[in-house]
Structure 1
Amino acid sequence: MFHLSFGHSFAELVALILLPGLAFYLLNRKKASARRSEEDAGTGAPGSMPTPTEANSDGSSPSPTATTSGGFSSSSTETQSGGCSSSPTEINNGASSSSPTETNNGACSSLTATTGNRYEVFLSFRGPDTRYGFTDHLYHGLLNAGIDTFRDDDELCQGQDIRPALVAAITDSKILIPVFSESYGTSDWCLDELVQMMERKNNNGQIVLPVFYKVKPYDVGHQNGRFGDAFLEREGRLLKRGFDPTILENRKKALLEVSTLSGYEVDGYEANLVKSIVRNVLSELKRKFELDISENLVGIDSHVNHVMERVSKSRATLFVGIHGMGGIGKTTLAKVIYNKLSNQFEHRSFLADIRESWKRNGVHYLRNQLIYDILKRENEVHSENEGTKFISSKFKGKKVLVLLDDVDDVVRVKCLAGKRDWFSSGSMIIITTGNEKILKEVGVDYAYKHEEMDNDQALILFSQHAFRRHPPPRKFKDLTHEAVFIIGGLPLSLEVLGSLLCGEELALWRGTIDKLKKVPPKKVREKLRISYDVLEDEQKQIFLDIACFFISTDRRTASYMWDACRFFPGEGIEVLRFMSLIKIDDDHKLRMHDQLRDLGREIVREENQWPKNRSRLWDSEEIGKVLKQNKGTEKIQAIYPSKSSSEGSCKIATRDGAIYTDKQFKKLTRLRFLHMMEGAHLRGDVKDSVDELKWLQWENCPTNFEVDNFHATELVVLELPHSKINEAWEGWSSFKQIDSSIGGMKALLRFELRARESLTKLPAQIGELKALEQLLLNNTRVLSPLPESIVSLPKLEILDISCTSIKKLPNDIGRPRRLRVLRASHCENMEVEMP
């Protein structure tokens, strides 16, 4: 009883001490809450806003043009709560704004100091519209994925000037996400944050990822609809009260610019959209860890030093080989060495992925690329003997640095860099291969075996892709060590499987590790397939298309077909990149590691033992057998023959003049992509055979188009490179939907007529292609004039008339509102200035 009595008395004593402070604290919280509710109500509708100016202590009005150093307008004291935050001069208990070290919230004392290092994403939103709904879900989705996110109504402290903290948070966040809602444009804070965000995007390269919550991007950019009504009504009141019009114009400019960015529209299932945004953010944040040439490569220095010690001091022509298993990082190592040595050489060439490029394009393509890199001369060789003679004679006086990447046959080396005396002394030829025997046959001066990572390096690389940091979070530490132990030291597997687990819950980690345990240690592709298996069906289709056909293809072109097939390429490509299954160059070219490429092709081969029953055909010999023996089936969706060569020879089997008939295409009723062999002819009635065709490539297409009922009404991409056709080409009449002209191709998005030697003019009906986005006419040297109807193309974005004979552009060439790229270099006959 004594102890109980003492405890009760002690509690009373503590209560007497603490209650006044607690009451004071709760009272302030209640006042702040009431103040926020009042602000939400006061700014939620344009008609209920308080006056934008407030009398100073002397009774005068503050200057309407006053701004802070951070760019935030302080001309209006309309309070903006939540996301676009509360008043910057909020008073604490009747006193002036307290310093950051005197606020009620102890965490506030270090806010300003830590903002720059702490946040990866900055969220800007209109509190009354989305604080308790979509933005809250997005905020917690980002946090749950381990993304440090700034949300100002949570992060900013009451009783201090928030502007410096906001500016710092925007400046130092890698990704900036404005969430546009109907009343976003009625908030000074929101609009000033947006101006800051667009400035950071344009000046610092930060990523702005807009989200349009139940408003349209066009309405935001042009102040239309309900968004525009609210914005313009408030703008009118501000102007009447002397608000600085320059600030308003800057806000409008920011709204217009952000509306053109790729973002998200919220008008449906929000949970899935939140997942998509989180995945996109993670993808952007982890890009710097991709296994390309970057400053974040793990454990590569020792390998580079080993090779450099052996080669850097030699004055003789050296052949250096790097070999090892697939996915070990041979190409990455070779690139780093190439970059370190490049300043010592005036003439350099990097021939990437020779194994695939040789099969797809042939030896002449690679030789001409090598010649162009060294001598800047185009299309010099067209035969085996000519190529060998040219390279061996023209390079003799050149000290060159050449990287031959992914060589799978000694013949490839002999055709491209056959002997040391082809080059000047001091030259270096670097070869990467998975087959050490090739290096012995070449007789390299130094061969380096690239080994797997040790456990410490593997942990760092895996953690970078799984968490974007090392060491891993405490709750994932044991699972991370277990995963790395099972995966081993292969960089590709560590990258792909780490990316698969990035942002995922513990349950998925355990399930994936259980699957990995069942895969034999050396079965790399089976480990990689775990990532493929979790993809949605549309994403799998895109992955397989890239693996079979579209490595080094512009993703924008391929996306036209995928979009027409309802594969949703925007999200699909984003997912594949996030999972490290593909990479995208700065020039939009799709890239894929050869191990992943081989995995994709293996998956297609597993569809059926007979090529005729597979979805995709890429091997020329298999395609020839299927077509010539009339064995095509409705299973085949895409055909892209490679220019494969016979083993042990530089010669490419000629395909020119091959004749195909309607019988060979009769059963190909699901064909969506067709690359006709170079110079091939097609004859007969192809009714029902091309109804699903979305993309047609036909190199050296013949002028005598002998095809009936070629009703490719769903065609979105037509490519006819190096074809001697003109406006009278018989084929135009077959691509009809409304009439017999090209104007009937209402779905055509990209029209490429490059290098047309005999094309002198385009039909006027080109102006009827209302969906056309790209018109590429470069190197069509005798083309002139450009039809006036081109100004009627409402969606035209890119027009390329470089190296043509066009004398003038239509006066109204600026009419297409979406036109953003106009290339007109080397138009030597241009008579007048640009309109």
Structure 2
Amino acid sequence: MGSFSSNEPKRSYDVMASSSSKKPRRSYDVFLSFRGPDVRNHFLSHLYAALDQVGISTYIDNEELRKGEQISPALMKAIEESQIAIVVFSENYASSTWCLEEISKIMECKEKKGLMVLPVFYKVEPREVRGQKQSYGKAMGEHEVKFGKNSEQVKRWKKALYDAGGLSGWPYTDGNEVGFIQHIVQEISTQLDRTPLNVAMFPVGIDSRVQELKTILNLQSKDDVLMVGLWGQGGVGKTSLAKAIHNAIFREFQGASFLERIRENSKNSIDLVPLQEKLLSEVLPRKKLIVYSVGGGSQLIQDKLCNKKVLIILDDVDDAFQLNALAGDCEWFGKGSRIIITTRNKHLLTSHGINWDHIYEVKALEDGDALELFRKHAFRGNQEIEISKNLVNQVLRYARGLPLALEVLGAFLCGRREPEWESTLKKLAKSPYEKINDVLKVSYDGLEPYAKEIFLHIACFFKGRSKEYIKKVLDSCEFHTTIGIKILIERCLISEEVEEIQMHDLIQLMGMDIVKDEDRDDPINHSRLWLRDDVLDVLSEDKLPKPEDMYIGPDAFTKMKNLRLLILFNVNNSIQGPIHLPNELRWFEWPNCGSTLEFSHGPKKLVGLDMRNSKIKVAPRQFKEFKKLKHINFHKCQSLVCMPDINCTPNLKELDLSECKNLERVHESIGYHDNLQLLNLSGCSKLHHFPNVLQSKNLLLLDLNCCPKLQRFPDIPDKIKGLHKLRLAGTSIEELPASIENLVSLIELQLFNCKKLAILPSSIYRLNNLQTLSLSGCSKLTKFPKMEEDLSDPHMKTGFSELLGLDLHRCNLSEIEFLRNPSCFPKLKSLDVSYCEKLKEIHKIPPQLI
């Protein structure tokens, strides 16, 4: 017994497994359900004797002891405690309400407790039972008269007969009854030899997952063959779930095989031969089949199982060769077969032809189940040990719902007192638990070198950062980040959550530990540094005690010839003069940097430069040798009065000069730069002029929001196909040029709070791809232009055919004539005309738009 000590009273925790946790107690091998007068004195007595002769424990109802029409509790219990129910459907079976109650209880136990039901159709057709025809129809008609046609009791009996009549069983009309009975006994013996698997000591939360998986398996469909994948990270419980689903459904198949730890048991192709033999021997236990080669084994599986309804579970598959050798195709197996594959690699499933809707992601436990599982392992036995709720919560936060971690740590902490718990948690904060780490590291070990590099970078630096940012940084190191991230997601090492890359804390610790293993004694030999003390150790030339404030000297990085990424957060330096950096550096990021940068002579490999909120000053030709530079971020650099000539950086894609309050002009090179895609000048309050950057053929976004001194938007003489987003909010422009129509790819136009904007050209209706138009707060805008047809080109489309949102909040519009033509706004979903005081005809606007 264990308890938490907090403000709440002590509790004792009963250790009770879920319904899948232990095999249900079985008193009988077989329960016989029958109608006595039809079969007792011949067929049934012979069947009972044959079962008894081979040692099969069989419950046979003594009809003479029955009282009334209600089934006795003892009989109910006998059904529940049997492994198999044999139902002998004879001519008068349905005339007995006792028999009908038996079959109802049997079918209930089949659904809820996994009871195997084998019907014998003794001189009746299965369709008579299923469709309640002939004697069954007559009997059920009499019951309807007696109990009511729509009574719950009769409905329950009818459903039980219908379901049982659809089961695969043994029909008997006439002939060799002895041989028929021997066949039944042999089949029963085979079924009893097939025992359930041991799932786990405490399989918390598994029952609900089994039900979800049953839905995907679609067991009601008898004709198709389905392959289903169980996908998830190491230690999340895929194998336990696979065992639980095996136990729940294996008796519905003619044969079943569970091949555990395939990755571990097939280090090379030769190792697959014993696995093929094991599969065949489990499905066909009475046949001794020898496999001589992998190819021969695959052919043997196809030949022997193509007409059998089988359940095959392949656990921990990590290579396509394993799948191709053991379950290459659905056509290998008979109708109704199900093949379940557990793996950490999602791509392995999809590349084998398994549909997305047949892949079940096994996720970590929810908080309640995680606590329950940990309690069961940590507070076993009769220990009267009090553990604070805070310590338990710390363990739960560490494990984050991973069953492996909850079980291992629960077992380790079981019987230990609070000081030992505290010591364990301190140790875990520095290094992961080896038994857990070894399981998680399997996924990392299977990666290609470049994917390992990406994983270690994310684990050490970038967990929780946006996918877009990580891709920029790691692409600068030529890591093939797009496919690398995809592979890491497929291997359950990372996840993408709302555009952020996340990973389980234990997987992150595993990655960090791999880096620490490069040299446990000296961080100078580590490929990555992220801890403050380690950085100080490497940068300090002596072994003096660490200062409170990190100080970085101007030559701290000059000897680091292999330095690729340098990212410094919350580091303020007081260096007088420039910081010297190696030419091999690919990404430099130092917000609030107080120094300038200096590289050696020669070509530089820098791809990303992020010095936001720093005191940097640039000269026009400062980036002369930075041919590979793609990303510059000088956000909030107040000392920046001019910007560099970006002709020196021909590969530049992004330039962020937002909120550079003293920037007055931009360099004319922006106007014809071929590769620039994003230019952010928002918040540059002194900016009053910029060249016609719209000629940059690849520019996608131009942000000039909150540039109040900007009074004129330049003319656009030619069609521009690149620009998608134009932001001019908070500027002082008075009108847009008629040539605005040449922005043929524009999807977003922001003009809100343009207090001087009074005129929109009618050509604005020719922005056929525009989706969002915001004019909120344009207080001088009193009317919308009239839409005019182009007489010179009658085929020219006009109107906002793609517009989804139109914001006219706080405009001084007095009429809405432009909205009266629905064909002009066919896709409009949102219209904001609030606080438009002069608008008189607001009632004419379709209410669904407002």
With normalisation by structure 2, the TM-score equals: 0.37
Report the structure number with the largest CA radius of gyration. Answer: 2
